Amino acid sequence: MLDRAYFEDLDSSDPLADLRNAFSLPDGLIYLDGNSLGPLPSHVPAVVQRTVVDEWGHDLIRSWNDHGWWDLAERVAERIAPLIGAPPGSVAVGDTTTVAVYKAVAAARRLRPDRRYILTDTGNFPTDLYVLHAVADQAGAEVMSVPPDQVLDRISPDVAVVSLTHVDYRTGRRHSIPDVDAAARDAGALVVWDLSHSVGAMDVDMSGSDFAVGCGYKYLNGGPGAPAFIYVHPSHQAGFRNPITGWWGHAEPFAMESAYRPAPGASRAQTGTQSILALVALDAALDVFDGVDTRALRVKSERLVADFIRLVDERLPWFEVVTPRAPDQRGSHVSLAHPEAGRIMAASIQRRVVGDVRPPNLLRFGLAPAYQRHVEVWDAVEAIRGVMESDAWRHAPERTGPVT
Ligand SMILES: Cc1ncc(COP(=O)(O)O)c(C=O)c1O
């Protein structure tokens, strides 16, 4: 049986323990929702304020040159590349994850125009599914959506693009990147990975993968609505046709040519002017990962997740663990099923343990290795046990607002 002292010991020997000091987390709050919105790194407000007051407020238009606004997106992209095992020049930053999925899948489909299917799994995030249908409509393809465990078997020479979220937003189940990439390569198909629930929580190696996208506001902590990223393997960059050609993806934007000429490298995946304030916040937030070995993130994430599941087994008999048991088949969040998920989460939040819920019956708890303390796993499980034993959840609301 685990006890609190076990977790305190883990914290005292945690090589990443100091990273937590970079964050501004409210006292007494156990924040287990970084898979949805990462917390605020403490130095970000001052950086954003300086950009607003000194740069925008004082230096105005000159800031594009004098304060490096113009190539900020490219600098941020170069900082994200090592977090996903991508070489320099292969990542572009901007837009939303949804738009990035659209661009990557549409461009991939254009590289395989004669094939019938865009293959995905039924658990993919809704925005990805909606975009796949849009691309299929526009490109005369069909979406084939299969249960996650059937994806590998369904990759065939009829498939143009395999579009998957690496770690399932609902269950935490994880696809094997090497296995899917190898099967796609054998069949001549291309793969687009959505790394939204992976980047910043574990090591990811895109060096053998075709395309990827990811979110800036989850484990990268870039702030609500932070810019997304798109990765294009070097071998596909010359053939990458951005479906939303704009001047930011042009080879020479200030030549103001009337005809489009794509920029070299992944920069051609850019479209138009990005929110500099959002980029500045994401850029500053990425300081947290400077010098951090992503494998160490993975090791800590595995420990946090394994211990959380073990404690649920030992101390929370009311729940079914939906997240896979095998460490190599899951990401960095744990999902528990209960028919009263909404009320239980509301009561848990009242006790300062913050996760979220996903329909129809899942409570999700994100365990972010950059700032989580091991002892929070123990304290969170104890708080939830209190919610269940006291029946406090029966008096809690089913939902507290539009965002669950
Ligand atoms: C896997 C995945 N993709 C995309 C998104 C969101 O896309 P966007 O940032 O465009 O809203 C989410 C949001 O939670 C997600 O979980």
pLDDT score, position 399: 82
Is the distance from the beta carbon of residue 196 to the nearest atom of ligand 1 less than 6 Å? Answer: yes
User: Could you give the CA distance from residue 229 to residue 221 in angstroms, rounded to a whole number?
Assistant: 14
User: Could you give the CA distance from residue 338 to residue 16 in angstroms, rounded to a whole number?
Assistant: 33
- Tell me the best of 35, 120, 127, 195 to mutate to test the pocket of ligand 1, counting ligand atoms within 8 Å of each CB and taking the most: 127
Is the distance from the beta carbon of residue 98 to the nearest atom of ligand 1 less than 6 Å? Answer: yes
- Which residues have a catalytic role annotated? 125, 194, 217-218, 364
pLDDT score, position 41: 98
* Residue ranges of the chain with per-residue pLDDT less than 50: none
Structure tokens at 72: 């900020």
C-beta neighbour count of 301 within 10 angstroms: 28
Nearest CA to ligand 1 atom 4: 97
Helix (H, G, I), strand (E, B) or coil at 156: coil
Residue from 379, 347, 386 nearest 363 by CA: 347
Distance in Å from the first CA to the final CA of the chain: 33
Antiparallel, parallel or unpaired: β 159-165 and 142-146: unpaired
Quick one: CA torsion of 96, 102, 105, 110, rounded to 10 degrees? -130
pLDDT score, position 137: 98
Residue 39 region by backbone torsions, left for phi larger than 0, else alpha for psi between -120 and 50, else beta: beta
- What does DSSP assign to residue 40? P
pLDDT score, position 400: 81
User: Could you give the CA distance from residue 76 to residue 223 in angstroms, rounded to a whole number?
Assistant: 14
Does an H or E element contain 278, and which?
helix 276-285
Instruction: Beginning with the edge strand found earlier in the chain, give each strand of the sheet holding 142-146 in spatial order.
Output: 91-93, 229-232, 211-214, 190-194, 159-165, 117-121, 142-146
Is the distance from the beta carbon of residue 194 to the nearest atom of ligand 1 less than 6 Å? Answer: yes
User: Could you give the CA distance from residue 207 to residue 220 in angstroms, rounded to a whole number?
Assistant: 20
pTM of the model as a whole: 0.98
pLDDT score, position 194: 98
Does an H or E element contain 356, and which?
strand 356-358
Amino acid 250 reads H
C-beta neighbour count of 18 within 10 angstroms: 8
Radius of gyration of the chain measured on its C-alpha atoms:
22
Set out the domains of the chain in order of their start, with CATH numbers: 4-31+293-395 (3.90.1150.10), 46-289 (3.40.640.10)
Strand partners, 366: 333
Is the distance from the beta carbon of residue 169 to the nearest atom of ligand 1 less than 6 Å? Answer: yes
Average per-residue pLDDT in the chain?
A: 97
Is the distance from the beta carbon of residue 132 to the nearest atom of ligand 1 less than 6 Å? Answer: no
Nearest CA to ligand 1 atom 5: 97
pLDDT score, position 351: 97
Q: Which of 276-296 are b and which e, b meaning 16 or more Cβ less than 10 Å from the residue's Cβ?
A: bebbbbbbbbbebbeebebee
Q: For residue 246, report the distance from its CA to the centre of ligand 1, in Å.
A: 23
Q: For residue 333, report the distance from its CA to the centre of ligand 1, in Å.
A: 15
pLDDT score, position 142: 98
Residue from 136, 282, 315, 292 nearest 215 by CA: 282
